[in-house]
Amino acid sequence: MALFTYEANDLFQWLVNRDDIVVVDVRNDKDFGRFHIEAPYPFEMHNVSYYDFMELEEESVARVPKNRPIRIVCAKEGSAKYVAEILERHGYADVGYLTGGIKTWGNLLVARQVAAGADYELFQFIRPGKASCSYGLVSGREMMVFDPSRNLDFYIDFAAERGCTITRTFETHLQADYIAGSRDLANRTGAVFHANDSDFKTSKNPYTPLTDGEVLRFSQGGPAVRVLFTPGHTPGSTSFIVDERFLISGDMVFINSVGRPDLGGKAEAWAKVLFASIGKIKALDHAIRVLPGHYIDWAEANEDLVFTLPLGEVLARNREIYDIDNPADFYGFIKANMRTQPEEYATIRLVNANLEQVNEERQEELDLGKNECAASAYAAKQQAQTA
């Protein structure tokens, strides 16, 4: 078999299907430690630097299993091709390298259907490289999008395949961990861009302000979308209740944590606000299904690889958080779990507020890497393990 290229979605499908492949990441160990391929099921992966292949070819080749399909990943594609050619010379027969490099994995979106009602469909768009989720709500010939990433073509093509146009796009808050897509998606499609004044009023984004408790609808039938202000992760954090059955929670409620309130540098003040918002969440019907903006790892997904749980189960598995009964103790929990936020978050906030412009290459750099938005000891442990 000749050398070949593959795309990020091919890699995801191989890993989901548990194909017997070996992933070889040839970036340096620092970049690998910061961000690498993760999948729903265990798979074999090796980090052998491109520079090792240049300087210690025989030893490096010996670290790659033989007689197995090899899938190589690098930063931009060129290094992976170089290593693939070395392996081919050494008799490896099934070798592919990722076209476009690791950024294509970082931008990959995978659609999973959450629900199909009588007059709507609800989809979760999983971004494995960021451990984040955006959402699409389809009814008739219209589609609403929640927290889109900058992979605009995906959302536009997804809507077109269903004979829809994107009519509304929502931001649950001013994102700090990735470049948000609502502003550009609205520009390209004519969709209304909805956001909370408390986060966006000082931005230079053209948007339509949300009102707490308002109900938004499709032009013809479909489910109601109720706005619920849930500040704390940011002052303008907003949740959306779809058909009184689903809670698109942004960074408010996670399956294995709650959104951290310290990213704005006002941990104590925002923790008090977040504690009050938790009271709002606990008062909701516990049968409502939580649809989070992020996850920590694939263990949180169900058998259909969808990240969702009934609110009652989320509250039960996070008792250490939700059983705290006063603001002072809640801040104590937050303080005990605080960790340094990535340096790029400050720049990402400015870009998302349209207060700073960066070129495409810089956007790609800022957008790589998993999120650090959860406030929990588990999340802090994960960070320590990869530091």
Residue-level pLDDT at 372? 74
Query: What DSSP designation does 244 have?
Result: T
Per-residue pLDDT reduced to its tens digit, 222-250: 999 999 999 999 999 999 999 999 999 99
Residue-level pLDDT at 385? 40
Q: Which residues contact 380 (CB under 8 A, 6 or more apart)?
A: 337, 339
Looking up tokens 């009588």 gives 118
Per-residue pLDDT reduced to its tens digit, 181-202: 999 999 999 999 999 999 999 9
300-305 long-range contacts (CB < 8 A, ≥24 apart) are 300/255, 300/256, 301/40, 304/112, 305/16, 305/40, 305/112, 305/126
- Catalogue the active-site residues: 74
Per-residue pLDDT reduced to its tens digit, 105-142: 999 999 999 999 889 999 999 999 999 999 999 999 99
Do residues 259 and 273 lie in contact, with contact meaning Cβ atoms separated by under 8 Å?
Answer: no
Distance CA 84, CA 299 (A): 32
Distance CA 105, CA 68 (A): 22
Distance CA 207, CA 383 (A): 35
Residue-level pLDDT at 158? 98
Instruction: Name the amino acid, one letter, at 248.
Output: I
Residue-level pLDDT at 384? 41
| pLDDT less than 70: residues of the chain | 1, 376-387
